[in-house]
Chain A
Amino acid sequence: MLEINNLHAGIDGKEILKGLTLKIGTGEVHAIMGPNGSGKSTLANVLAGRPKYVATSGTVTYQGKDLLALPTEERAREGVFLAMQYPVEIPGVNNIYFLKAALNAVRKHQGLEELDAMEFLQLAREKMKLVELDEAFMSRSVNEGFSGGEKKRNEIFQMAVLDPKLAILDETDSGLDIDALRIVAQGVNALRSEKHSVLVITHYQRLLKYLVPDFVHVLADGRIVKSGGKELAEELEQKGYEWIEEEVAAAR
């Protein structure tokens, strides 16, 4: 699904990712953990094509295509979804209208027929249940006046509707209470299948209790420094990140 090879990237001329290599197979759930400033969010943003995040060298191959060569919206239409750490508000733009426009842009690109209003509403209602969102959400403006938890649930709702092939969750768990955490995990677990891959970026292990990853990687100073199974997350939770940083330093 996704193959990142020796990726160097940064922002405003400052290199943050320093040779990151990662392979995500179809149907796999990977978690990337790491201390603040290690480059987790940079990775998410580079993959999604956020302006200002520039890849300076290395390759990213997504379904056989050069991902970095695709414009932002093309990546999205090819099935890359980023659940954002700080979803923005778009005042006056109806939430459901926004999502319908997005879904139809994706469907059109993929050669599928666009959904009409009725079909779309049916789909949206079904997916809303998954993240336990109230129908009143439909008539509100995109993220406007949403609580932190609501914004994150809205991200997962959008993800459920758009049905991406590769979902990247950028610290979706931050600032969530335990119920919201469970709901978010529930939404992601529903997406899990042989056809979908998920990359969970998180600082804490707690989301991974509900959303059990196949692989866990530790990111430090712009590189993957350790990889393992779900037990690695537990180890990190107990010991913190320091021991890894020490290990890395010792290995140098």
Chain B
Amino acid sequence: MSSTIEQIASQEYKYGFITDIEADQAPPGLNEDIIRLISAKKNEPQWMLDFRLKAFRHWLTMKEPTWANITYGPIDYQATSYYSAPKQKKKLNSLDEVDPELRATFAKLGISLEEQKRLSGVAVDAVFDSVSVATTFRTELAKVGVIFCSFSDAVQNHPDLVQKYLGSVVPYTDNFFATLNSAVFTDGSFCYIPKGVRCPMELSTYFRINSANTGQFERTLIVADEGATVSYLEGCTAPMRDENQLHAAVVELVALDNASIKYSTVQNWYPGDKEGRGGIYNFVTKRGKAFKNAKLSWTQVETGSAITWKYPSCILQGDNSIGEFYSVALTNHRQQADTGTKMIHLGKNTRSTIVSKGISAGHGQQTYRGEVKIMKSAEGARNYSQCDSLLLGDKCGAHTFPYIEVRNSTAKMEHEASTSKIGEDQLFYCQQRGISAEDAVSMIVNGFCREVFKELPMEFAVEATKLLGVSLEGAVG
């Protein structure tokens, strides 16, 4: 059994290639001048610069958190370059104008824009390094009033919306990494769904980290106005690098009364090599705020990064609001993940569901850290939590830290947790029926993740199964 797991766990990262595009890059280092440079490069209004500077000054007073169950060498924030943009000579009107090399990169990833556009009806806002280079379907979305654009464009064209909601869920003082992001973020996506509109297609962004030594600081803001519905897909792959790359993104979701936001992620950044050299450091702050009767749903499949520090959370502020978190996280080789969610119940009859599936292989270490907080005002709140861990081999680890805080006695809480190992018995059973060990592992892992995969949009479910190195026909169906 162990030989198969070794094989599966040791598959080389397929997406390791570097695209040679001339980059417009700031010198390494972080200070107010760099922030002013970023802001100036992006031609930002004064309020945006002020937000950045406030964040930066606050960041200087903060210390990097150490409570997470991860270990990594010190990060030299002064050695990182905080701005890198592919040189674009003019605005693009169609995909044909996109740098062919860039398009080839996307093609290698199997996500060519034209294919996306033609086949799947998915609008793609392709973020390449820090600047959006192509946005599709914008016109069609505009027909129903949906705004889907790069964050920079939103700052230029929809400053009122950005100013109103930016930092409303994740304030610039929130945490070390979110504050850093607030100071130096270069681009990201902005999405606004007007009142009562059901977004006609799934919105999708592919992120790639490309230039060496460039920290990627994405900023995403999604606002679903009253009664609006949207499903958003975030998918990531990054090319192979020897140096660690810092990534500190912030995602803010705002679901106003009766609105619904579903945010799905497939994350496959470079995890480092077998000995743990290289790989992405991924410190992400993702949080949503749900108003009356609103619903927030996070679904994620995390297979990449050397270090993952990520807790997509829901603030259930409005009465009857709903928060969901479905997660599959895989760590192998020397990968470390400390991930989970927070559900903060403020409104009456708020409900939350947490289903977390952790898979550890090789020397991978994984921690589930979840917090469920029922505040005094949350009469009749309910939570269901389930976190399961699956171990492949005997050199990996799984840890669970559930925090539960209940301040209202009417709350109903359920928590289930399990840890299992792909047993030799299970493998033998499959093999005795003629199924190869490799297929058996795939099947068992897929079965383990099934509850989460069924929450994913169709095309992501496919991607997810691929990422886990298994066949589509697996137990997902």
B475 at the interface (CB under 8 A from A): yes
Closest to A50 in B: B428
**What residues on B are CB-neighbors of A52 within 8 Å?**
424
Say yes or no: A101 contacts B426, CB within 8 Å.
no
* Contact between chains at A158 and B475 (CB < 8 Å): no
Find residues 426-442 in chain B having any chain A CB closer than 8 Å to their own CB.
426, 428-437, 439
CA–CA, A120 to B258, complex, Å? 45
**Contact stretch, chosen from B55-63, B264-272, B447-455:** B447-455
Q: Which residues of B contact A97 (CB under 8 A)?
A: 473-475, 477
Chain B CB count within 10 A is highest, among A76, A92, A101, A103, for A92
How many Å from the CB of B189 to the closest CB on chain A? 33
Q: Tell me whether A73 is interfacial, beta carbon within 8 Å.
A: yes
Q: What distance in Å separates the Cβ of B394 from its nearest Cβ neighbour in chain A?
A: 14
Q: Is A88 an interface residue (CB 8 A)?
A: yes
Interface of B is mostly: helix
Is A93's beta carbon under 8 Å from chain B? yes
Chain A residues with CB below 8 A from B424, complex form:
51-52
Say whether B200 faces chain A, with CB atoms less than 8 Å apart. Answer: no
B431 near A93 with CB under 8 A, answer no
Q: Across the interface, do B447 and A51 meet the contact criterion of CB distance under 8 Å?
A: no
A102 contacts which chain B residues (CB < 8 A)?
430, 433-435
Task: For B2, give the chain A residue with the smallest CB separation.
Answer: A51
Closest residue on chain A to residue B423 by CB atoms: A88
How near does chain A come to B417, taking the closest CB pair, in angstroms? 15
Task: Confirm or deny: B201 has a beta carbon within 8 angstroms of a beta carbon on chain A.
Answer: no
Contacts of B462 on A, CB cut-off 8 Å? none
Are A76 and B431 in contact (CB-based, < 8 A)?
Answer: yes
* Residues in A neighbouring B449, C-beta threshold 8 A: 92
Pick from A82, A91, A94, A101: contact of B439, CB below 8 A. Answer: A101
- Determine whether the beta carbon of A158 is less than 8 Å from that of B433: yes
| Cβ-based interface call for A105 (8 A) | yes
For B433, the chain A residues whose CB sits under 8 A away are 76, 98-99, 102, 105, 158, 162
Closest residue of B by beta carbon distance from A84: B429
Does A106 lie at the interface of the complex (its beta carbon under 8 Å from any beta carbon of B)? yes
B447 pairs with A73, CB closer than 8 A: no
A73 surroundings in chain B (CB, below 8 A):
431-432, 434-437
B444, CB-defined interface residue at 8 Å: yes
Q: Which of B423, B434, B450 touches A76 (beta carbons < 8 Å)?
A: B434
Q: B256 interface residue, CB < 8 Å from A?
A: no
CB of A77 closer than 8 Å to a CB of B:
yes
Q: Which residues of B contact A94 (CB under 8 A)?
A: 475, 477
User: Is B170 on the interface with A (CB-CB < 8 A)?
Assistant: no
B447's partner among A71, A82, A93 (CB-CB below 8 A) is A93
Q: Is A90 an interface residue (CB 8 A)?
A: yes
Say yes or no: A92-B450 contact (C-beta < 8 A), given A73-B437, A97-B477, A101-B443.
Answer: yes
A92 contacts B435, C-beta separation under 8 Å? no
* Residue A87 CB within 8 A of the other chain: yes
| B432 A141 Cβ-Cβ under 8 A | no
Q: How far is the CA of A162 from the CA of B435 in the complex (A)?
A: 12
Tell me if B444 and A93 are in contact (CB < 8 A): yes
Considering the complex, give the chain B residue whose CB is closest to the CB of A143.
B429
Q: Which of B445-477 touch A at CB < 8 Å? A: 446-451, 473-475, 477
Q: Assess whether A125 is interfacial by the CB under 8 Å rule.
A: no
Question: Shortest distance in angstroms between A249's beta carbon and chain B's nearest beta carbon?
Answer: 36
- Whether B416 is near chain A, meaning CB under 8 Å from some CB there, is no
A92 to B437, Cβ gap below 8 A?
no
Task: Bin chain B's interface residue count.
Answer: 20 to 34
B425 lies within 8 A of chain A by Cβ: yes
Instruction: Report B3 CB to chain A, min CB distance, Å.
Output: 11
B443 near A72 with CB under 8 A, answer: no
Contact A92 B434 (CB under 8 A): no
* Interface presence of A17 (CB below 8 A): no
Residue B111 at the A interface, CB < 8 A? no
Does A109 reach chain B (CB closer than 8 Å)? yes
Please give the distance in Å from A207's CB to the nearest CB on chain B. 21
Q: Tell me whether B197 is interfacial, beta carbon within 8 Å.
A: no
CB distance from B470 to the nearest CB of A (A): 11
- The residue in chain B whose Cβ has the minimal distance to the Cβ of A110 is B434
For B475, what are the chain A residues with a Cβ–Cβ distance below 8 Å? 92-94, 97-98, 141
Docked-complex contact A106 and B434, CB < 8 angstroms: yes
Across the interface, A93 reaches (CB within 8 A) one of B423, B443, B451, namely B443
Contact digits for A148-168, partner B, Cβ 8 Å, 1 yes 0 no: 000000000010001000000
Residues of B within 8 A of A101 (CB): 435, 439, 443, 473
Confirm or deny: B95 has a beta carbon within 8 angstroms of a beta carbon on chain A.
no
Taking the complex as formed, is B1 at the interface, i.e. its CB lies under 8 A from any CB of chain A?
yes
Task: Write out, one digit per residue, whether chain B residues 395-434 have a CB within 8 A of any chain A CB (1) or not (0).
Answer: 0000000000000000000000000000111101111111
Give chain A nearest CB distance to B397 CB in angstroms.
21
Nearest A residue (CB) for B444:
A90
Contacts of A76 in B (CB 8 A): 431-434
Do A87 and B432 have beta carbons less than 8 Å apart? no
CB closest chain-A residue, reference B1: A51
List which A29-51 residues lie within 8 A (CB) of chain B.
48-51
Please report the C-alpha to C-alpha distance between residue A12 and residue B227 in the assembled complex, in whole angstroms.
64
Note all chain B residues with C-beta closer than 8 A to A81: 432
On chain A, the residues within 8 Å of B473 by CB distance are 97, 101
Is B446 a contact of A93 with CB atoms below 8 Å? yes
| Chain B residue, CB-CB nearest to A161 | B433
User: Roughly how many angstroms separate A170 CA and B475 CA in the complex, as a whole number?
Assistant: 28
- Known pairs A91-B447, A92-B475, A93-B475; A105 contacts B434 (CB<8 A): yes
Interface residues of A in 78-135 (CB under 8 A from B): 81-82, 84, 86-88, 90-94, 97-99, 101-103, 105-106, 109
Given A51-B424, A105-B433, A105-B439, output 18 extra A-B contacts at Cβ < 8 Å.
A48-B428, A50-B432, A51-B428, A52-B424, A72-B431, A73-B431, A73-B434, A73-B437, A75-B432, A76-B431, A87-B429, A92-B446, A93-B475, A94-B477, A101-B439, A101-B443, A109-B434, A162-B434
A sample of 26 cross-chain residue pairs with beta-carbon separation below 8 angstroms, ordered by A number, consists of A48-B432, A51-B424, A51-B428, A52-B424, A72-B432, A76-B432, A84-B429, A86-B425, A87-B429, A88-B429, A90-B430, A90-B443, A90-B444, A91-B447, A92-B447, A92-B450, A93-B447, A93-B475, A94-B475, A98-B443, A101-B435, A101-B443, A101-B473, A102-B434, A102-B435, A106-B434
